[in-house]
């Protein structure tokens, strides 16, 4: 569960990114976070992953209170979240399989767990045939699916996707959204930051609109705000 209460974030240079937002996302929800550039979306994502701390207010993510989280707990928080980026962020010199095993190694999974988990996740994202290929041999949509697989591989409670379709054509974008929807149906909370209105409207899901550091809309569908 994600819970924000009166959260403000002021950067050292004086810019106010968040001006007091309160938001609750229950376990198993599927939420679009939309808003123009500079509205505070990225700041919100960074708050949720523990990259930055709020200036005031309370942030609780999957049971971790981020206002008083210790350095030792931050890795544990991050294990409960799978993050997906617009630019995929795969390791170019590792194969698909190695990219996933790398992420599992990093959190101390045993070789046996790695061997059984990776084929399962690859099948889920439809890439079981591509395990031994390198990222540059794959299309953009496939690379993003590898990134989704990597986000899933450590079995997180929440997936946070930051503009996951920003680099993809509409057909691939839809594919990725459907995949994320499917993952949500399997029980994982999914939060997607995007500004693709058409895509958002294809799914009848909760949309949170952020403008100028404030939540200005919260309801089903982009236009429902």
- Residues from 15 through 44 that contact other proteins (CB under 8 A): none
Residue 154 touches other proteins, criterion: CB under 8 A? yes
Among 96, 103, 177, 215, binds other proteins (CB under 8 A): 103
The region of 56-64, 100-108, 179-187, 197-205 touching other proteins under the rule CB under 8 A is: 100-108
* Residues 70-99, interacting with other proteins (CB under 8 A): 71-72, 74-80, 82-83, 89, 91
Of 169-208, which residues contact other proteins (CB under 8 A)? none
Q: Looking at the DSSP assignment, which residues form a beta bridge with residue 209?
A: 34, 217
Among the listed residues 108, 136, 186, 187, the single contact to other proteins using CB under 8 A:
108
79 or 225: whose CB is closer to other proteins? 79
* 144 makes contact with other proteins (CB under 8 A): no
Q: Which is nearer to other proteins, 59 or 209 (CB)?
A: 59
| Count of residues in contact with other proteins, rule CB under 8 A | 23
3-state secondary structure the chain: CEEEEEEEEECCCCCEEEEEEEEEECCCCEEEEECCCCCCHHHHHHHHCCCCCCCEEEEEECCEECCCCCCCCHHHHHHCEEEEECCCCCCCCCCHHHHHHHHHHHCCCCHHHHHHHHHHHHHHCCCHHHCCCCHHHCCHHHHHHHHHHHHHHCCCCEEEEECCCCCCCHHHHHHHHHHHHHHHHCCCEEEEECCCHHHHHHCCCEEEEEECCEEEEEEECHHHC
One residue of 49, 62, 113, 133 binding other proteins per CB under 8 A: 49
Binding site for other proteins (CB under 8 A): 49-50, 71-72, 74-80, 82-83, 89, 91, 102-103, 105-108, 150, 154
């Amino acid at each position: 569960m994600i819970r924000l209460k009166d959260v403000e974030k002021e950067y050292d240079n004086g810019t106010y990114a968040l001006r007091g937002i309160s938001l609750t996302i229950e376990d198993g929800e599927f939420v679009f976070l939309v808003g123009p550039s500079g509205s505070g979306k990225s700041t919100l994502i960074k708050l949720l992953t523990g990259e930055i701390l709020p200036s005031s207010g309370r942030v609780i993510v999957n049971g971790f209170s981020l206002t008083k989280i210790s350095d030792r707990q931050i890795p544990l928080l991050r294990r409960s979240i799978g993050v997906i980026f617009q630019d995929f962020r795969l390791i170019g010199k590792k194969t698909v399989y190695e990219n996933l095993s790398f992420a599992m190694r990093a959190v101390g999974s045993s070789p046996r767990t790695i061997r059984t988990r990776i084929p399962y996740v690859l099948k889920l994202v439809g890439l079981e045939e591509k395990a031994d290929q390198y990222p540059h041999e794959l299309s953009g949509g496939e690379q993003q699916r590898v990134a989704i697989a990597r986000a899933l591989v450590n079995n997180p409670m929440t997936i946070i996707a930051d503009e996951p379709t920003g680099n993809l054509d509409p057909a691939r974008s839809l594919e990725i959204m459907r995949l994320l929807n499917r993952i949500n149906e399997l029980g994982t909370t999914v939060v997607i930051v995007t500004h693709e209105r058409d895509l958002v409207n294809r799914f009848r899901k909760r949309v949170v609109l952020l403008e100028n550091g404030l939540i200005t809309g919260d309801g089903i569908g982009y236009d429902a705000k």
